[in-house]
A and B are shown apart, each in its own frame.
Chain A
Amino acid sequence: MKELLMGNEAVACGALAAGVQVVAGYPGTPSTEALETVAKRKPDGVYVEWSINEKAGAEVAAGAAYAGARSMVTMKQMGLNVASDPIMCVNYVGVKGGMVIYVADDPGPISSQTEQDTRSWGQFAKIPVLDCTSPEQAFEQVQAAFELSEAKSMPVILRSTTRVCHACSVIDVPEFVPPEPVEGFVKDKKWVIFPGLSYQNKKKIFARESELAKTFSENGMNTIAGTGKIGIACGGIAAAYTADAIQGHEDQFTVFTVNTPYPFPIQAARQFVDQVDTVLAFEELDPYIEDHLAAMGVDVIGKRSGAVPEAGELSAVVVAGIIEKQTGLSLDLHPTNLPESPALPVRPPVLCAGCPHRGAFYAVKKAMRGRKIIALGDIGCYTLGNAMPLDMVDTCLCMGAGVTMAQGLNHVDPSTVNFAFIGDSTFFASGITGAINGVYNQADIVLVILDNSTTAMTGHQPHPGTGVTMMGERVEPVSIESVLRGAGVTSVRTVDPLDLDEAVPAIQAAADEKGVRAIIFKSPCIAIVPKQGIAEVDQDACIGCKHCINELGCPAITMMETENGLKAVIDPALCTGCGLCNQICPKHCMEVKG
């Protein structure tokens, strides 16, 4: 049936159409919906899980592929860093069932720490990479990836980017049938990685590179369109931008779309280069195609020549502008000229009204007023605690880094109290090792676990602490407190971050202790529970001091000029009745009702 599918949904449906049997992954924008769609639409016989992190997910998928099943692991590009160890190694061992590693890159970056390029990573790891230009093509590519992986007993990376992952197209989706039963694991020396085996397999991997480059040049996966003398080499969403930019002038151009970045289709590239006079390269992230063409001795107008922006996203207008400038042609897309607009507010993302993280940050800030602290942040909604007025995130690096960086800082300067804030999902993904490291090495830190019972930032996925699985089972939740105590953390306090009278003394007591001590702030994300009520401002009592806004920055509160002076107003649609504002209001005039 024809359906409007998002790129990630298309990847999921393509994988199900290809008979995938095991899908694992860890959430991360822009990849998340792929695994969620598998869970929603899978036929009987398909197993799906949110793994504890990407490394675990890749290993689960590898195990399934050793047994002959088709398997897929999904992640964002940052996750590939975490999963590098197993993925790099499984390429040397090989697989029996097809194994696809779906990685979503994030040019911009829009929701990520880095602008890394999985095409370059695939080349480094010597694992074939298929790229996606649109949802409908992604639907085909994932099926091709399974075929290729199984035919050559090697893992294959399917790579897409945000604008493909989150774009929708009309796709004809087949009925999914349960996967065929597989043989199961057959014992063999080849499954045990040893230096000698890796030496032998490295030779095969090397030979495979040129063989696949030839196949990819001849099998139609990479396309050369047009007969014009201006050559454009592109890949991913830049192919769509190029199509828009040259619309109406196609006869001037020959467009080479690289859909198999690694191994690079050299013969096809040669054919393209031979039929044009000029070569421009349009691609986001690394100058990957550009560098491969340059290595063939081609003069390329691209990022290295300074013509194409080296960072951030491209657009059709940017592409058109570069073509005009470099070729003298006149195209139809141009930037719009408008008179200057009145002042528009910047609108960065903020912690929701009623977010328990706001209470946690505010409580630590209040408890530690006048003392030297470092607030180490981490990855999640709580990174937004960096914004004014909370201003409680001094560092943020990568998942789990805060816990261990706090230790490094402590070894250099023991005079500050180092608070490492970490979300519950992040704690399970990569905080536990850091906590044990601190216990073992006698570090002096306050570990603050922001337990909101979900993986909020990426769209509220369950995790081990929630006791819900992607197969729909209810299981015994893993207790963070027990994990900490088992790891040797003897000081553990569980408190409600929205109750300042309880939270502030608990923080002060923990701050005065030594070693690794933990505070678990337990209160659910507002998106997963009903509202507590709605705070109402007693207009007669409000003195318009703005203390609530200046201290908390809750987006539900604004100030309004009335005939009785400046008054706080609360947006009833946003307020969840968390009660924080009333606790800090000098007049306590913001009582929660209902």
Chain B
Amino acid sequence: MKSALLCGVGGQGTVLASRIIAQAAMNSGRQARTAETIGMAQRGGAVVSHVRIGETPEERVTSPLIPDGQADVLIGFEPGEAARNLKALKPDGIVIVNRRAIVPVTASLGKSGYDGETVLKWLEANAAHCFVVDGDRAAQACGSEKVLNVVLTGALAETGAMGLSFEGIKQAMIRRVKPAFVEMNKKALALGAKMVRR
């Protein structure tokens, strides 16, 4: 079983990203399950999407939710949310985290500081493999900050952490986004992949 946990702030589009990954697994004949935050928390609250897929067509996926310490990859759309969910990652798992911190109103109002850079350092110190990426810049280069989710999906595809091919993820993306946005999202996948290529 391979598992990916995607986390961020409501409105960042984690759901589309998790559906693309699951769709790619399904297209290759494997079992796939997802579990997503939908509802109240979407208004700028913390959100999490789980994706679990079989490694072979025969492998059964037990539950849609990833137990702590069982994720092969953690995609943080925001540093603080990545840190909050690091407990889900396997000891040798991969973190892909978007650099831009989103400061919630609670932090703007109070004196309690929230410093994204300190959080990123902590992630780098505590994850076996950590890629800090400038996903927002890549998304803007594609023409819309909204494609951040697909940029980060491209990064995931490149790592091979879910045992899915880049091409398979691309085909799944094409199935999931509106035809008018396919070209923009192809670019987003490619730019995302480039960000983690070593």
Contact = CB atoms under 8 A, between A and B. Distances in A.
Interface of A: 2, 4, 29-30, 110-111, 134, 163, 166-170, 237, 240-241, 243-245, 247, 315-317, 320, 333-336, 338-339, 341-352, 381, 384, 387-389, 457-458, 549-550, 553-555, 557-559, 573
Contacts of B113: 343
A163 B65 contact: yes
19 contacts: A167-B34, A167-B35, A167-B65, A168-B22, A170-B32, A237-B65, A244-B67, A316-B63, A334-B69, A336-B69, A338-B86, A338-B126, A343-B112, A347-B106, A389-B109, A457-B40, A458-B39, A555-B44, A555-B105
Nearest to B121: A342
A166 B44 contact: no
Contact of A110 (B41, B69, B103, B104): B41
B31 A243 contact: no
Contacts of B64: 134, 163, 167-169, 240
A223 to B, nearest CB: 15
B63 A240 contact: yes
B69 A345 contact: no
Contacts of A110: 39-41
Interface string B39-57: 1111111100000000000
A336 B68 contact: yes
A333 B43 contact: no
Nearest to B38: A166
Contacts of B36: 166-168
B101 to A, nearest CB: 9
A30 B105 contact: no
Contacts of A245: 67
A243 B62 contact: yes
Contacts of A315: 65, 67-68
Contacts of A243: 62-63
Contact of B104 (A166, A335, A347, A573): A347
Contact of A168 (B32, B46, B83, B103): B32
B145 interface: yes
A341 B119 contact: yes
B19 A346 contact: no
B26 A4 contact: yes
Contacts of A169: 32-33, 64
Contact of A381 (B41, B43, B45): B43
Contacts of A381: 43
Given A168-B33, A342-B122, A349 B67 contact: no
A243 B61 CA distance: 10
A317 B43 contact: no
Interface in B1-36: 9-10, 19, 22-23, 26, 31-36
Nearest to A342: B118
Which among B19, B70, B89, B113 has the highest number of chain A CB atoms within 10 Å? B70
B25 to A, nearest CB: 9
A191 B103 CA distance: 60
A336 B62 CA distance: 20
Given A336-B69, A558-B103, A573-B145, A247 B62 contact: yes
Q: Which 8 A-B pairs have the closest CB atoms?
A: A240-B63, A29-B39, A349-B45, A167-B64, A349-B43, A316-B67, A111-B40, A111-B39
Contacts of A237: 63, 65
Interface string B127-163: 0000000000000000001000000000000000000
A336 B145 CA distance: 34
Interface of B: 9-10, 19, 22-23, 26, 31-46, 62-65, 67-70, 80-81, 83-84, 86-89, 103-109, 112-115, 118-119, 122, 126, 145
Nearest to A109: B40
A12 to B, nearest CB: 15
Contact of A348 (B32, B39, B106, B145): B106
A366 B123 CA distance: 44
Nearest to A30: B39
Given A167-B33, A167-B34, A336-B87, A347 B46 contact: yes
Given A111-B40, A557-B108, A333 B83 contact: no
A540 to B, nearest CB: 22
Nearest to B115: A342
Given A29-B39, A111-B39, A316-B65, A345 B22 contact: no
A169 B89 CA distance: 22
A569 to B, nearest CB: 10
Contacts of B70: 333
A350 B83 CA distance: 21
B109 A553 contact: yes
Nearest to B61: A169
A351 B63 CA distance: 33
Contacts of A341: 83-84, 86, 119, 122
A333 B67 contact: yes
Contacts of A343: 112-114
A573 B136 CA distance: 11
A347 B42 CA distance: 11
Given A317-B68, A342-B122, A388 B34 contact: no
B84 to A, nearest CB: 6
Which among A163, A347, A381 has the highest number of chain B CB atoms within 10 Å? A347
Contacts of A387: 105-106
A339 B114 CA distance: 18
Contacts of B114: 343-345
A554 B44 CA distance: 11
Nearest to A246: B62
A30 B81 CA distance: 23
Contact of A349 (B23, B40, B68, B109): B40
Given A333-B67, A338-B126, A341-B119, A349 B44 contact: yes
Contacts of B126: 338-339
Contacts of A334: 68-69
